[in-house]
């Protein structure tokens, strides 16, 4: 019986087709992605700049807003509801001038209760002082009486002594006289010692009572001063701002109700991108254009807390000249991060966003070729060139997004 043989030629044909197709796909891929494409570009569609050698300063630019150099917050001391408003936001106020009156019935009642309690305690202490003085007076009276009795006994003793020596007085009467004199003498000594000890004790008690009265008097004075805190007054003279008091609105103790700006000097407050947080330091100088005149500024304070990608920088004006500025006005600040140095520089452009500064198109004989470069520091106008370019060379600095895969450009 005959057996059918496999068609080897057909199998070889299929393998050949697969191999040829694979090579064709690889060739298309290569010529599509790896061949050196040449593209014609109009000179009017690109921006060309020359590499220069000039003084380079690393600086940043941002907007700074004018604020008073010194401001004082107006804080609520005793919380309560707004009962009266005496001034308006933006008004000029003097130190001690009433701004707003608050009212809190619960706090008022507590003050009255505390005041009554303190006054009652002070009265009790004053009564204690009177009692101590009364005791001293009674003891003094007793001592006077005892001294009188002692004087009588002493006179009688001296008289009877002479009579006994003259044998006019009997021995029994003389013994009675001596005993009576000894008793009055001892009685007087004991009373004097008792009064001395009592005086020391009373002096200590009087000192303690006086100290307690002084403390209570201070407490009473402080309590009465606190009652005056419902009337909020200006802590300094200046212009009242951010004052948002509303009749009937309740504020808590410690809450700020506004601020007073001292109109003596100004500062600039700016929000700077967090990228420069490690580069901006206190003492750095900058400048602003103030009505056509360059005015120097200096970084005085940095708040490193980052909010929404920015941190706060406060700058003060240099020099003794008194500036007339309007609060809230914004000025462009140029802050210098380094000194002037001679460097090769490339003007900034949109190409950097496409290449990250790793390569550029360099012009030569109406053609632009790719070239690997290394860029360093930058400021709003220039990039510092580390390597890859020379002075006088022409570079395309506009966007590369339309010819990122092209190696050579024909400039027409």
Residue 24: pLDDT band by 50, 70, 90 thresholds? low
Quick one: pLDDT at residue 35?
Answer: 46
Q: Find the Cα–Cα–Cα–Cα dihedral 408, 409, 411, 412, rounded to 10°.
A: 120
pTM: 0.50
Helix-then-strand count for the chain, H and E: 4, 22
Q: Are residue 351 and residue 300 in the same domain, yes or no?
A: no
* Separation between Cα atoms, residue 226 and residue 238, nearest integer Å: 25
Q: Are residue 272 and residue 367 in the same domain, yes or no?
A: no
Q: Are residue 309 and residue 377 in the same domain, yes or no?
A: no
Q: Are residue 407 and residue 379 in the same domain, yes or no?
A: yes
CATH code of residue 42: 2.40.420.20
Whether residue 16 is contained in a domain is answered as no
**Is the pLDDT at 4 greater than 60, yes or no?**
no
Mean pLDDT of the chain: 83
Q: What pLDDT digit, counting tens, does each position of 148-198 carry?
A: 888 988 898 888 888 888 888 888 888 898 898 888 888 888 888 888 888
Domain of 124 in residue numbering reads as 106-224
90: phi > 0 → left, psi -120 to 50 → alpha, else beta; which? left
Take residue 67 and report the two structure tokens written for it: 């604020």
């Amino acid at each position: 019986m005959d057996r059918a043989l496999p068609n080897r030629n057909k199998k070889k044909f299929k393998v050949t087709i697969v191999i040829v197709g694979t090579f064709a796909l690889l060739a298309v891929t290569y010529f599509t992605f790896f061949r050196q494409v040449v593209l014609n570009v109009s000179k009017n569609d690109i921006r060309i700049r020359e590499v220069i050698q000039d003084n380079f300063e690393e600086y940043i630019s941002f907007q700074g807003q004018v604020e008073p150099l010194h401001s004082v917050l107006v804080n609520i001391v005793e919380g309560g509801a707004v009962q009266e408003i005496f001034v308006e936001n933006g008004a000029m106020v003097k130190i001690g001038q009433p701004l707003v009156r608050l009212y809190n019935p619960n706090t008022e009642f507590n003050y009255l209760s505390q005041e009554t309690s303190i006054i009652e305690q002070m009265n009790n202490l004053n009564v204690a002082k009177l009692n101590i003085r009364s005791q001293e007076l009674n003891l003094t009276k007793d001592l006077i009486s005892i001294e009188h009795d002692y004087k009588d006994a002493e006179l009688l003793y001296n008289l009877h002594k002479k009579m006994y020596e003259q044998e006019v007085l009997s021995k029994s009467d003389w013994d009675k006289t001596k005993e009576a004199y000894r008793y009055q003498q001892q009685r007087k000594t004991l009373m004097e010692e008792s009064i001395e000890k009592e005086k020391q004790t009373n002096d200590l008690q009087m000192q303690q009572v006086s100290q307690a009265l002084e403390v209570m008097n201070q407490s009473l004075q402080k309590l009465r001063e606190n009652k005056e805190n419902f009337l909020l007054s200006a802590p300094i003279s200046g212009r009242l701002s951010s004052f948002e008091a509303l009749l009937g609105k309740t504020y808590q103790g410690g809450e700020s109700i506004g601020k007073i700006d001292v109109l003596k000097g100004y500062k600039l407050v700016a929000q700077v991108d967090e990228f420069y947080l490690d580069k901006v330091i206190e003492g750095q100088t900058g400048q602003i254009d103030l009505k056509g005149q360059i005015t120097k500024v200096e970084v005085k304070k940095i708040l490193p807390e980052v909010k929404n990608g920015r941190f706060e920088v406060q700058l003060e004006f240099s020099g003794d000249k008194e500036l007339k500025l309007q609060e809230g006005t914004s000025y462009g600040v140029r802050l210098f991060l380094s000194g002037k140095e001679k460097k090769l520089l490339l003007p900034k452009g949109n190409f950097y966003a496409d290449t990250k500064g790793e390569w550029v198109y360099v012009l030569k004989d109406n053609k632009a070729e790719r070239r690997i470069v290394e860029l360093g520091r930058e400021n709003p106008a220039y990039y510092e060139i580390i390597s890859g370019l020379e002075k006088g060379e022409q570079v395309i600095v506009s966007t590369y997004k339309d010819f990122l895969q092209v190696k050579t450009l024909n400039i027409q």
